[in-house]
Structure 1
Amino acid sequence: MIVVTAPTGQIGSRVLGTLLERGEPIRVIARDPARLPDHVREHVEIVKGSHSDAAVVDEAFAGADTVFWLVAADRRAESLEAAYLDFTRPACAAIEKHGVSRVVGISALGRGFAENTGYLSASHAMDDLIAGTGVAYRALTMPTFMDNILWQAGSIGEEGVFFGPLSGDLRAPTCATRDIADVAAGWLLDRSWQGVADVPVLGPEDLSQNDLAEIMSDVLGRPVRYQRVPMDAFRATQLEHGRSKAMAQGMVDMMAAKEAGIDNAEPRTPAATTPTTFRQWCEEVLKPREW
């Protein structure tokens, strides 16, 4: 039995689809089961609720050998510890209680790069918490997602511009969520591995923000440019979008670490390189959106 958390999100839904195609027995944890497609609800066991809830994970992990773990951090959380560690502690207790064999989790690059890297440090602390249960654990460690561009699709479509606090010429890896999901599904279906390790997922190439703008311009057939904003303005935008002060600061600290090169610290290897290029992603995901 494989338990899938966040089954309606970009990554979780694709993981779930792949597992269903393979005929695996699956149990999902869903706050709103109605958001699951009908054909999915017919073929999975459903535990309703949040995977931060002790009673929910206790029910979901009973009889399970493998868990897919993804924390979508609450932007309104009072602290990064609350968003990642407090959220995960009930699951760790259930992992130990029910003798779960393997966990595949969504994390971030840059372990050991610096003491305070905001969301990234919180992800690494979450990994340590899970690994501390004694379960075999694979933390998929990622740079920035290509799909994050969609948060600024309106600005790109209406004004031909997207914003961020990073240097325009800083090249770094970027990956597509569908590739992350495919890597995760591969580990979930492989029951031969043991121990604890990070699994970098780096996409196929390193690109700067200006590179992204050039590719978007070409694919969309109209000019798109990148505008760097001061870190204070970036923090203010995060607050305007509903993040608590602590979570907004976590975003600022993460971006400062990215500017310092945290996403470039992991050597690119064939095993860490995933197939979807940013151009392909723009053609297949960004361009079809209604502008």
Structure 2
Amino acid sequence: MIVVTTPTGSIGSRLLRGLLDRTDEPIRVVVRDPARLPDAVRDRVDAVTGSHGDPAVLDRALAGAGAVFWVAPPNRQAPTLDAVYADFTRPAAKAFAAHGVGHVVSVSALGRGTPVADRAGLVTASLAMDDLIAASGVAHRALANPSFMENLLRQTASIRDDGVFTDTLPADLKAPVASTRDIAAAGARLLIDRSWTGTGEVPVLGPEDLSAADLARIMSEVLGRPVRYRRQSLEDFRAALQGHGTGEALVEGYAAMMRAKGEGLDNGVRRTAETGSPTAFRTWCEEVLRPAVDA
């Protein structure tokens, strides 16, 4: 049996559909509100209601589990970054061993081994979560991801109405960017074919490195209207997060992560046939961004 956490999330929902399309193995999901599952999905999975940070919920969810897809859910009001990642995951690490779970695939980030990995905020905390899972004795693969293409969907109104998108990175800094569909597909492959052993990372880098200037050019071409990049200071970035009700620990965690990305956090892995992923940014703009902007 495969257990999927965050089955209604941007990655988890895609991964769950991929599993249902590709395997007959029983699938169990851990979900706070089963009503959020699409009808076609709800009828094909065993749903355990609750938080996967709750040991009692984990005991029900992991009974008979051979593999787990693990995501630490966002918690904008967490008092510390460890509370978001390692502290939330600690009961699961114990439960994996207690229930004899063989394989765990988690969603994490690029950066391990880079000079800025120990001061990258959310990424540093995510890598510590990976270490905790790996120490539990399971076979573990961390999906090591750069920034998501889907992050731009938060700026759909600005792109449509003002022709502007913002970030904190230098305009000419080229870095990988990946679609959540590719991340989900990589996770599904690992969960279905569990011939792998030991621990490690599976980078998902997209097919090419792109700068913010490149993103603006491609968006302009696909949308048929000018789109320009406006670099945001870290101070303004912090203020925007605070304005959306994000707690201080997460504000500083995001700021440290973005500072580290600007210093090359995502550029430490070479793209190969194994680490690259297929969805080009232009394709994503045509299939996802343009319909969102037009809507």
TM-score band (shorter)? over 0.9
Q: Pairwise mapping of residues 71-82 of structure 1 onto structure 2 (< 5 A)?
A: 71-82=72-83
2: CA distance, partners of 1:192 / 1:163: 42
**Matched residue, 2:155:** 152
**Matched residue, 1:241:** 244
Cα distance per residue 1:95-139 (max 9 Å; x no partner) = 011010000010000113222111110110000010110000000
Shift of residue 73 of structure 1?
Answer: 2.3
Q: Pairwise mapping of residues 83-232 of structure 1 onto structure 2 (< 5 A)?
A: 83-113=84-114, 114=116, 115-232=118-235
Counterpart residue identity of residue 151, structure 1 = R
**Farther off after superposition, 111-120 or 144-153:** 111-120
Give the 3-state SS of the residue equivalent to 2:151 in structure 1. Answer: helix
**Matched residue, 2:261:** 258
**Matched residue, 2:27:** 26
Cα distance per residue 1:121-177 (max 9 Å; x no partner) = 011000001011000000010110001000111111111101111101100000000
Counterpart residue identity of residue 34, structure 2 = P
Is the aligned partner of 1:272 residue 2:275?
A: yes
- Conserved 8 A contact 1:146-1:174: yes
1: CA distance, partners of 2:279 / 2:20: 23
Counterpart residue identity of residue 247, structure 1 = L
**Matched residue, 1:38:** 39
Cα distance per residue 1:66-106 (max 9 Å; x no partner) = 00011222111111000111111111111011010000010
Structure-1-length-normalised TM-score: 0.98
- Conserved 8 A contact 1:75-1:247: yes
2: CA distance, partners of 1:163 / 1:241: 16
Counterpart residue identity of residue 120, structure 1 = V
- Conserved 8 A contact 1:58-1:91: no
2: CA distance, partners of 1:91 / 1:153: 36
Give the 3-state SS of the residue equivalent to 1:46 in structure 2. Answer: strand
2: CA distance, partners of 1:10 / 1:165: 23
Give the 3-state SS of the residue equivalent to 1:269 in structure 2. Answer: coil
Is the aligned partner of 1:284 residue 2:287?
A: yes
2: CA distance, partners of 1:24 / 1:221: 45
Large movers: runs of 4+ above 3 Å: none
Structure-2-length-normalised TM-score: 0.97
**Matched residue, 1:58:** 59
Give the 3-state SS of the residue equivalent to 2:284 in structure 1. Answer: helix
- Conserved 8 A contact 1:73-1:84: no
- Conserved 8 A contact 1:165-1:255: yes
Structure 1 unaligned regions, length at least 5: none
Identity between Structure 1 and Structure 2 (%): 57
Counterpart residue identity of residue 129, structure 1 = L
Is the aligned partner of 1:49 residue 2:62?
A: no
- Conserved 8 A contact 1:110-1:120: yes
**Matched residue, 1:67:** 68
- Aligned residue pairs total 291
Cα distance per residue 1:212-265 (max 9 Å; x no partner) = 011111111111101001111111111112211110100110011100011111
Give the 3-state SS of the residue equivalent to 1:287 in structure 2. Answer: helix
1: CA distance, partners of 2:211 / 2:164: 15
